[in-house]
Chain A
């Protein structure tokens, strides 16, 4: 067996290994974060915002992030992204009252969520659609070096 396309320098190989380790550590930390997130309320009193449910899935070439955004009009959705993070804000069609113990005047007016993405993406190439109250954003992954492995 021979690894083809092995034109990487020693330093590049080390970088590649460290990048892989960084990715794994990031995923592990995200799992822990998710666990602690369960104990956080899904609303923010200060910003009068609700936290939407979201999912992240990966294909070989894309990172797909969806948000459940009911009671929202497409035009009110604002999306900002970098290579590593995504911020979504959307105004609710009508203000939603908070739990009574917060006081009768407390209403939530929007959804808001910032997430750290598990892989680097190209935000310029992202596409978004909003259907049946679900926002789907597809990011092309930033290309990584690929190597052809020949079986002998």
Chain B
């Protein structure tokens, strides 16, 4: 697997964001909205024999399913296909390699945290997980609560692990969400947290307005992502780690 770069931003120390398919497709929805709102340009794509034999067509143009967009001081990795478990370690490693080659200030992952009572929650809360205390402090300072106990499973776990080994600053933002349904409300909460963290001004109103049509369009990706997640013991995330009582 490798990341083929078409363009590069002139900025030094950019932030690398990831919006990859996971529960509630929170990262996917957030990344699509950020790309549109910031009018981001395609910078790179992921190439690998391990990926399914898929290319995507948009308005007749051929695209690779996992792409990286860029604007100003931000890169964002997004995917239009579910990431299968055998690809996850390679993808995580490549994303961290890419971030290091760019001398990134931090990797920020956008994801969801499954809650069974999501229907009763008006505004999903956002939690943070970080590889370094300084990053977690920054998140706490703007009102994002750290996730104290729990498991992280899947692509985010692998990126966190890789960043931890290599001392790369990484932050995982998790918004309370539906497990198996696309959740634009959770994506809006994540973007609002990101706005605060990176001092951005991305409007979430258009996202909330088109929430219903997004849910309709993302049914297939959600179904495939759910099937993938059931193969990686994602249900671990609903458990409490045994050592929490120590």
A binds B: yes
Binding site for B on A (CB under 8 A): 34-35, 37-38, 42, 50-53, 55, 68, 70-71, 96, 131-134, 136
B244 at the interface (CB under 8 A from A): no
Other-chain contact of B227, A34, A55, A71 (Cβ < 8 Å): A34
B181 at the interface (CB under 8 A from A): yes
CB neighbours of A51 from chain B (8 A): 219
Complex CA distance for A132 and B215, rounded to whole angstroms:
12
CB neighbours of B119 from chain A (8 A): 131-132, 134, 136
Contact residues on B (Cβ < 8 Å of other chain), bracket: 10 to 19
Q: Which B residues from 172 to 203 make CB contacts under 8 A with A?
A: 178-182
Q: Which B residues from 194 to 246 make CB contacts under 8 A with A?
A: 211-213, 215-216, 219-220, 222-224, 227
With CB as the reference atom, state the residue of chain A lying closest to B216.
A70
Between A and B, 23 residue pairs with Cβ closer than 8 Å are A34-B227, A37-B223, A38-B223, A38-B227, A42-B220, A42-B223, A53-B219, A53-B223, A55-B179, A68-B182, A70-B212, A70-B213, A70-B215, A70-B216, A71-B213, A71-B216, A96-B216, A131-B119, A132-B119, A133-B215, A134-B178, A134-B181, A136-B119
Complex CA distance for A132 and B119, rounded to whole angstroms:
7
Q: Is the CB of A53 within 8 A of B227?
A: no
Complex CA distance for A88 and B223, rounded to whole angstroms:
18
CB neighbours of A38 from chain B (8 A): 223-224, 227
Name the residue in B119, B211, B227 with the highest tally of chain A Cβ atoms < 10 Å from its Cβ.
B119
Binding site for A on B (CB under 8 A): 119, 178-182, 211-213, 215-216, 219-220, 222-224, 227
Taking the nearest CB of chain B, how far is it from the CB of A56, in angstroms? 10
With CB as the reference atom, state the residue of chain B lying closest to A92.
B216
Complex CA distance for A71 and B223, rounded to whole angstroms:
19
Complex CA distance for A131 and B182, rounded to whole angstroms:
15
Complex CA distance for A51 and B219, rounded to whole angstroms:
9
Complex CA distance for A121 and B219, rounded to whole angstroms:
28
Other-chain contact of A55, B180, B215, B216 (Cβ < 8 Å): B180
CB neighbours of A42 from chain B (8 A): 219-220, 223
* 16 further contact pairs, Cβ within 8 A, besides A70-B211, A134-B178: A34-B227, A38-B224, A42-B219, A42-B220, A52-B219, A53-B219, A68-B178, A68-B182, A68-B219, A70-B215, A70-B216, A71-B212, A71-B213, A96-B216, A132-B119, A136-B119
CB neighbours of B212 from chain A (8 A): 70-71, 133
Complex CA distance for A127 and B180, rounded to whole angstroms:
22
CB neighbours of B179 from chain A (8 A): 55
CB neighbours of A55 from chain B (8 A): 179-181
Taking the nearest CB of chain A, how far is it from the CB of B178, in angstroms? 8
CB neighbours of B180 from chain A (8 A): 53, 55
CB neighbours of A134 from chain B (8 A): 119, 178, 181
Complex CA distance for A132 and B123, rounded to whole angstroms:
12
Complex CA distance for A119 and B227, rounded to whole angstroms:
22
With CB as the reference atom, state the residue of chain A lying closest to B226.
A53
Name the residue in A37, A42, A71, A132 with the highest tally of chain B Cβ atoms < 10 Å from its Cβ.
A132
Taking the nearest CB of chain B, how far is it from the CB of A48, in angstroms? 15
Other-chain contact of B222, A35, A53, A71, A96 (Cβ < 8 Å): A53
Taking the nearest CB of chain B, how far is it from the CB of A81, in angstroms? 21
Taking the nearest CB of chain A, how far is it from the CB of B146, in angstroms? 28
CB neighbours of B220 from chain A (8 A): 42
Taking the nearest CB of chain B, how far is it from the CB of A111, in angstroms? 9
CB neighbours of B211 from chain A (8 A): 70
